[in-house]
Structure 1
Amino acid sequence: MEEDQTEESMEEGETHEGAGCPMMLQDRKLKGKATTFSGGWNIGEFVGLLVSACMGSLFSDGARLAAREILVWFLNGMMNPQRHYLSTTMAVLDEPTIFVIASEFLNDIQNAFLYGELTDTVFMQYPQGFIDKQYPNYVCKPNKAIYGLKQAPRAWFAQLNAWLTDYSFSASRDDPSLFILNSGDLHMFLLIYVDDMLITSSIHAAIDNLISALARAFPVKDLGQLSYFLGIEIDYLISGIFLSQRKYIKDLLERSNMLNAKPMTSPMAASLKLSQFDGPEFTDSTLFRSIVGGLQYLSITRPDIAFSVNKVCQFMHCAKVSHWSAVKRILRYLKSTINYGMLFKSSSSLTLQAYTDADWAGCPDDRCSTLAFCIFLGKHLISWSSKKQKTVARSSTEAEYKSLVTTAVELIWIQTLLRELGLFLFDATYSLVQ
């Protein structure tokens, strides 16, 4: 990006025309002269505020601007230097929703965060290469969200939510990333993950109409039939859809130098007990956290490693050599089962079945129990979990009841989600495994 300089002084209220839409800065906290530049921000001197360190940078890809220093002035005029924003979180789709809705097409919104509308008043330092020498102590006021701004994801989601609502979609009450459109024979479902959209519909032409309408509002890249999404590979078979993460497993094995390791037939020994007080520390804690984090994401399509991954995840802060040995065994198991995945057949019953169990006082450090459950929709596994309970159970019965409660909560959520999709279940089975 070339440096853009202002050659002459400008009176207050005057604008500097640029490639973008000029907007004037009007704020009683700013004094002196205000200058408007292209690119969606204004500059002005902020009274009583020390602009300090910066974060982010100018990306080489398309010269994308990223926010350097973020300073938020709330609408009530109060500045809190310890909290620079009110809310930044955006909706993230839940894993069971992906399995319940077999999406067909994938679309990507290019530079999505640049379309968000800011609701907070935000100030930032000059972007690199764009400093006004006449007013070097001034700051910028973004008129729209930009990359590097913590409010940008939420602002973009709000903008997309408003557009989809105008298009007659309604947001799901159970999964905020799911949007539903029901109109006569048309049933369309849309899943949002940041700037990616998964679309499925009972009428194929409706998908084309939606993509065309989206393209008029945002720069949409149609990626066609869904084949790869968030590390998940989708294969279309005669009998149904097969989900796997072969490429992701191979990348994990390469990062951990385990490509030539000897395969194993099980991810963890049944009698293994891991403790934070085990043997010597593992020296490369960064590698441990990186590989274990990858294994945690891999369990999206591999419920067979959920229990063992949960065990090693408990030692991210104090990795030992024995913990790394357990991680390597999981990797060796993955090498022997790299082609494993989940098959969703085109025909199946709509009966919910849930299984749950608990390992009473299984942790040698704090004696907390480990709960586990798996939920089937027909013959398809759609939700599962294995995690340590937060409190100590004084009996095996108490541990199992806690596990049963957690499973019931998940079942109620899935039933509510299915009702929103127009599927009403009258047959549900619950099994407590001793």
Structure 2
Amino acid sequence: MDCKWVYKIKRDQTGAISRYKARLVAKGFRQQLVTQQWPLRQLDVQNAFLHGDLQETVYLQQPPGFADPKQPDHVLCCPGYGPLSYFLGIEIIYKNQDILMSQQKYIFDLLQHAGLSKANPVDSPITTAANLALGDSSQCADPVKYRQIVGALQYATISHPDITFAVNKVCQFMHSPTENHWAAVKRILRYLKGTATHGLLLKHQSSSILHAYIDASLPTLMALPG
């Protein structure tokens, strides 16, 4: 893992500076473990600022400003709970050297919260005839629940990127949802029920190069002078 320094100024009750603090933190979002075929380990740390003992092995890059010039490629090794299996609602399923990221339990819990555990699944998260707009029907009976479910659906896009467009549409009406918007949310949930066992497969042979695609019919973008 990469790491960085985080600096913070501590102030007293009057607003005056009492001390300066520096923390070394690991960039968990910068991992490229699957393509490198590195083993994944689950790290469950509570109140890390209390210097709790870890039971997992963590490999961390040398801290900025303290790297060994004679061994710049060496990493810090911290001994530490077992193979990564479940973390923040995401289940990690090992497929030989590949891993499958699944949110099956998360989705089932979300369906139960929405009262749709027994609903029939559908084959698409949104219909081509969907026409969502402000005030397109009566106000949603429970706008708070609408916001909670839609917020949870955003997290479900981690393993189900196929619902991203539909979730983006219902997110546009968080401030004033209608019954028509709620019906669209329920369709997304019914779609997830039928695809709950699906997930995102990360292959160790996949390239780490990011590719982007654009509709060729769009007008060419030009840089502004100056």
TM-score, normalization: structure 1? 0.39
Answering whether residue 86 of structure 2 is matched by residue 228 of structure 1, we say: yes
Structure number with bigger Rg: 1
Which residue of structure 2 aligns with residue 170 of structure 1?
63
1:235: Cα distance to partner?
0.6
1:335 has 2:180 as partner: no
For residue 75 of structure 1, the aligned residue among 3, 12, 16 is 16
* Counterpart-to-counterpart distance in 1, 2:27 and 2:130: 34
Offset of residue 114 of structure 1:
4.7
2:22 match: none
C-alpha RMSD over aligned residues:
3.5
2:184 is paired with a residue whose SS is helix
**Partners in 1 of 2:178 and 2:213 — Cα distance?**
33
Distance apart, 1:112 and its partner CA:
2.8
Shift of the 185–287 alpha-carbon distance from structure 1 to 2, 3 Å rule, reads same
Cα gap change, 1:183 to 1:287, in 2 (>3 Å): farther
Q: Which amino acid aligns with 2:133?
A: S
Q: How does 1:30-429 map to 2 (within 5 A)?
A: 72-75=13-16, 97=30, 100-102=32-34, 104-114=40-50, 169-170=62-63, 183=71, 186=74, 206=77, 210-211=78-79, 222-357=80-215, 397=219, 401=221
Distance 1:94 1:313 in 2: 27
What amino acid does structure 2 have at the position aligned with 1:299?
A: T
Counterpart of 2:4 in structure 1 is: none
| TM-score normalised by structure 2 residue count | 0.71
Q: Which amino acid is the alignment partner of residue 233 of structure 1?
A: E
Report the CA distance between 1:109 and its aligned residue: 3.0
Q: CA deviation at 1:271?
A: 2.8
Q: Secondary structure at the match of 1:301?
A: coil
- Count of residues in correspondence between the two structures: 192
Matched letter for residue 146 of structure 2: F
What does the per-residue CA deviation read over 1:307-347, in whole Å, with 9 as the maximum and x for residues that have no partner?
10011011111010000000000000001101111111222
Structure 2 unaligned regions, length at least 5: 1-11, 19-24, 52-57, 65-69
* SS at structure 1 position matched to 2:131: coil
For residues 93 and 288 of structure 1, what CA distance do their matches in structure 2 show? Answer: 33
Residue pair 2:33, 2:40 contacting (<8 A) in 1 also: no
CA distance in 2, matches of 1:305, 1:348: 23
Shift of 1:225: 1.0
8 Å CA contact 2:98, 2:204 repeated in 1: yes
Alignment identity in percent? 41
Which residue identity lines up with residue 108 of structure 1 in the other structure? D
Aligned to 2:67: none
Shift of 1:170: 3.1
Deviation at 1:279, TM superposition (A): 0.7
* Structure 2 letter corresponding to 1:106: Q
Hey, what's the Cα distance between the residues in 2 that align with 1:168 and 1:297?
29
